[in-house]
A and B are shown apart, each in its own frame.
Chain A
């Protein structure tokens, strides 16, 4: 099956610093990748949709200057949380839509803790 890899799985950073999370589709090309945030015991909240080679589309209420998304190739998208604060601590999950397909596959998620 299709594999989506996220790295790092866990990251702790100091308040005010920036942290980057990578999302890679390992065995398929992904024209579209999605970034979600999940709070404890809650469903996934879509943050943004990124298409290869173009700017990401952010959902209402998501600060695009704080959550920088880059989709430089058909297999890699990155989420950078800039000037992180403790309230940014969360579980971030990426997903990828296979090129010419209709199934969206998810990464294993990344736990971010801002101290």
Chain B
């Protein structure tokens, strides 16, 4: 069975500082990894994905994530946080073997402090 762990329920970062939201995964075969962001009372917005290729993936709004196969991690990063980045972030995984279902982590609430 596939699973995702987001070890931090809450992350607080000062505006302008770099931010990291952690994610580790478990899946059979090669992983397809995703990050989504959710603003209050809204659906999920796609940020970025790793399917294959370069381990460093760049996405929307200046976010990037690094795929680390040996550590089974896919941490989300941004060099300089904005107050508008405050939201709920979900990491998700699906296997490449035909199972299309996404498995989500429990989410990390990111708060950027002005």
Contact = CB atoms under 8 A, between A and B. Distances in A.
A34 B44 CA distance: 13
Most chain A CB within a 10 A radius of its CB, from B43, B104, B106:
B43
Contacts of B46: 1, 103-106
B52 to A, nearest CB: 10
Contact of A106 (B45, B51, B106): B45
State the main secondary structure of chain A at its contact with B.
strand
Nearest to B88: A41
Contacts of A6: 43
Interface residues of B, number: 19
A43 interface: yes
Nearest to A109: B43
Interface in A49-100: 49, 91, 93, 95, 97
Contacts of B42: 108-109
Most chain A CB within a 10 A radius of its CB, from B34, B44, B51, B101:
B44
Nearest to B107: A43
Contacts of B43: 4, 6, 93, 106-109
Given A43-B107, A103-B46, A106-B45, A34 B101 contact: yes
15 contacts: A1-B46, A32-B100, A34-B101, A43-B90, A46-B102, A91-B41, A93-B44, A95-B102, A97-B100, A102-B32, A102-B49, A103-B34, A104-B46, A107-B43, A111-B41
